[in-house]
Amino acid sequence: MESNIWFSGAIILVSYYFLVSSEAKVRDRRIVPAVLVFGDSIFDPGNNNNMNTTAKSNFPPYGIDFPNHKSTGRFSNGKIPGDLMASKLGVKDYLPAYLNSDLEPEQLLTGVSFASGGTGYDPITSALVSVLSMDDQIDLFKDYVTKLYSIANEDRVDDIISTSLFIACAGNDDISNTYYTTPIRILQYDIPQYVDFMITNAAEFIEKLLVLGAKKIGFIGLPPMGCLPWARTLAGGLSRNCDQNRNNAAKLYNSKMPGVLRNIQKKYQGSNIIFLQIYDIMINMIQNPTNYGFEETRRGCCGTGMFEVTGFCNNQTEFICEDTTKFMFWDSYHPTERGYQIIMDDIFNTYFQDLFNN
């Protein structure tokens, strides 16, 4: 009898060991070796910090919900999409800025963000606020690859580039800032023409990534820009309604871009380029806030929530919402960490199979 009890106990212990080991392996398994991000303030974790630009957020109350309440240069109260995406893929908890001088080799090997708040696919957009253009970000990526070859062998570097997830996210500043708030482009193009101009530049950017070895690319579409708190204040009238001109521009862009990306994919054998739609989830969050646990989607947490962003959202502002999880927007332009979490969850639920099973 004793031997049977011992044997049964041993079986239980062995089974438990393999169960725990299996769960640990699942936790430790990375779906991709690295995440590499290009674009604007949605994905900028602090590349703008040391630039001579007003497009910064490395001061309180930005980062109020980040570990140690640290203002890292992320344009939110806490984590931003690059962090959430890297975490969901099992890569790491925070995606660092490439221009962070303290990066360790392991941080480089598992991915960085080249994104720069205020940039766009229109080269004038980045010039207006003195930030990294999309071509500048390509140059930084080339520099990044050179660094990889100095810390890893050629096969590993080639594997990182060919199997990692690349993300491109820009265009909001092109329409919201360059087109509608300056006289430069609005005198040259109507909106359909300007959208086509943006798409041409975006397509050229994606092809540059492919030439440099990228294979798996997630291309993020435009949000309902006319419903951002800043746009409501600027163009929504006394009632601060959504500006349909900006929303229609976003919808036009979003309707055309997937076909362009499919045509590019046909040219590059083995590539997988997926258009990641965020317009629908965001408009649903805005129109049905209680479905997502929000109490406010028309203004941000910082200050009045109607116009404050970057330097106007600072530690001198009188109003900061008591519970950031109840607000969709942090400032008048960028979602809260909670808002970003919902958007990223929707992207993964909708596009995971397309991104990683091809």
Catalytic residue selected from 76, 271, 334, 346: 334
Note if 69 is an active site residue.
no
Tell me, yes or no, if 334 is annotated catalytic: yes
Question: Using CA atoms, how far apart are residues 306 and 134, in angstroms rounded to an integer?
Answer: 29
Query: In this structure, what token pair is assigned to residue 159?
Result: 């594997």
Catalytic residue among 41, 71, 113, 133: 41
Contact (Cβ atoms closer than 8 angstroms) between residue 38 and residue 167: yes
- Range list of H helices, the chain: 2-28, 81-88, 105-109, 123-129, 134-151, 154-163, 172-173, 183-186, 191-211, 229-235, 244-267, 279-287, 337-356
- Is residue 40 among the annotated active site residues? no
Q: What are phi and psi of 220, to 5 degrees?
A: -90, 130
Q: Of residues 133, 331, 332, 346, which has the active-site annotation?
A: 331
Rounded distance between C-alpha atoms, residue 199 and residue 253, angstroms: 7
CB atoms within 10 A of CB 305: 24
What are φ and ψ of residue 66, in 5° steps? -80, 155
CA distance 193 to 61: 39
CA pair distance 28, 36, nearest whole angstrom: 20
Q: How many CA atoms lie within 13 A of 29 on its CB side?
A: 7
Find the farthest-apart pair of alpha carbons in the chain and give their distance in angstroms, rounded.
92
36 forms beta bridges with 166
Give the catalytic positions in this structure: 41, 331, 334
